[in-house]
Amino acid sequence: MPSPFPSDLYGGRLTIDLAAIAANWTALNGKLGGKAECAAAIKADAYGVGQEQAGQALSGAGCRTFFVAVPAEAFALRTSLPDAVIYVLDGLFPGSAEHFIQHDIRPVLGSLCELREWAGICKSAGKNLDAAVHVDTGIHRLGLSPAEFSAAMSDADLLGPFVPSFVMSHLACGSTPAHPMNRRQLDLFREVTAPFPHIPRSLANSAGILMGPEYHFDLVRPGIALYGGKAIDSEPNAMKPVARVEARIMLVRDVPEGDTIGYGARQTATRPLRNAVVAAGYADGLLRRASSSDERPGGFAMIGGYRAPVLGCISMDMITLDVTDVPEELLKRGALVEMLGPSVAASDLAAYAETIDYEYLTSLGRRFERVYAPLI
């Protein structure tokens, strides 16, 4: 939801471009040649940008099928997208089946016990109730083993009237296309599903879409690319940026050469510095691991086209930036600094924090003013 308080009561602002999300989905859909359906992963509050708003934007672009992680996300999404097809990737929690049926939500059955439970419900109802089945091809998280899947799909007594709406697996190393794991998973997925040509198949996430048609099958499930993230490590990111984080300058001060900055005194000024203190920190999702020290550089922000490196430790509510080379007129008290956005890619920040852009995006904005507008 848009923020309820005036702008000047927030330390920072998170701007989300819904048109960019829609454009990213359209671009990914265009890579499929009309042969596969392009769905959307909208879990974790749409990777931090807002499930309801992103869902509406994606639906408006033509998306009809959505994936969330847990049932509560699905039920919330159902209120804003009454006609959408909604799947829950984490499957059928104990005691939840009645709620799935009541709200027309579809579980992705990720274990043999879940499959047995759902098939039993279909038998009792005397009809097929839509659900997908997950088969594990090597990531060893959720999913029936290939042997379990093959045996179950051939057991009419077990399944009764249940026919999976599709069967899926998930790539372990899609962000690195040359990794041999991708080919092993693709080959195993083809082998395991070949005896059941009547069941649609889904393997590709964002990276899988970009890896080419052999990974597309009947349905693809992009996530990070929809939100402007980098799906493949070794290639330029062609997706439009979706989120911008700006933090407010509270104070600009001089730091003498030889003095230290921030908690732990981990960084020493090697020259006289100017230091801008901005009102955002790790409580806002700007990860502490992107801090700077004498041993390693940290992240950076952008101020009017000037790069401003992080100085010292990122704290809960504040970050200090080196603005020695930034013109004075850009450093007014209350001015907004770009911490993430078109000039500061989430993948770049993630590299400084030794993590991935997924973590950055899903952590952002707990205390920021939230605005839905184009990233001009």
Contact present, 332 and 250 (Cβ < 8 Å) = no
Model confidence pLDDT, tens digit, residues 71-115:
999 999 999 999 999 999 999 999 999 999 999 999 999 999 999
Q: Which residue has the higher pLDDT, 235 or 281?
A: 281
What pLDDT does residue 8 have?
A: 82
Instruction: Write down the mean pLDDT value for the chain.
Output: 94
For tokens 């989120």, the residue is 243
Q: Which residues contact 333 (CB under 8 A, 6 or more apart)?
A: 249, 250, 251, 252
Secondary structure (DSSP) of 223-286: -GGGGT--SSTTS---SPP-EEEEEEEEEEEEE-TT-EESGGG-EE-SS-EEEEEES--GGGT-
Model confidence pLDDT, tens digit, residues 113-139:
999 999 999 999 999 999 999 999 999
Q: Is the pLDDT of residue 140 over 90?
A: yes
* 43 flagged as catalytic: yes
From residue 325, alpha-carbon distances to 272, 320, 329, 335 in Å are 11, 14, 12, 17
Q: Is the pLDDT of residue 274 over 80?
A: yes
Burial class (CB in 10 A: 0-12, 13-18, 19+), 236: exposed
Task: Give the mean model confidence (pLDDT) for residues 278-306.
Answer: 94
Model confidence pLDDT, tens digit, residues 14-72:
999 999 999 999 999 999 977 899 999 999 999 999 999 999 999 999 999 999 999 99
Model confidence pLDDT, tens digit, residues 230-254:
999 888 899 999 999 999 999 999 9
Model confidence pLDDT, tens digit, residues 152-211:
999 999 999 999 999 999 999 999 999 999 999 999 999 999 999 999 999 999 999 999
Model confidence pLDDT, tens digit, residues 194-242:
999 999 999 999 999 999 999 999 999 999 999 999 999 888 899 999 9
312: left (phi over 0), alpha (psi -120 to 50) or beta: left
- Is 0.95 topped by the overall pTM? no
What pLDDT does residue 150 have?
A: 96
Measure CA of the first residue to CA of the last residue in the chain; give whole Å: 21
What pLDDT does residue 44 have?
A: 95
Selecting among 10, 31, 43, 360, the annotated active-site residue is 43
Element housing 24 (H / E): helix 18-30
What pLDDT does residue 35 have?
A: 85
Kindly state the tokens that stand for 79.
């209120």
SS3 88: strand
The sign of the CA dihedral 112, 117, 120, 126 is negative
Q: Is the pLDDT of residue 2 over 70?
A: no
Model confidence pLDDT, tens digit, residues 336-370:
999 999 999 888 888 898 998 889 888 887 789 99
Q: Which residue has the higher pLDDT, 4 or 253?
A: 253
Selecting among 10, 87, 263, 282, the annotated active-site residue is 263
The amino acid at residue 131 is A
* 282 flagged as catalytic: no
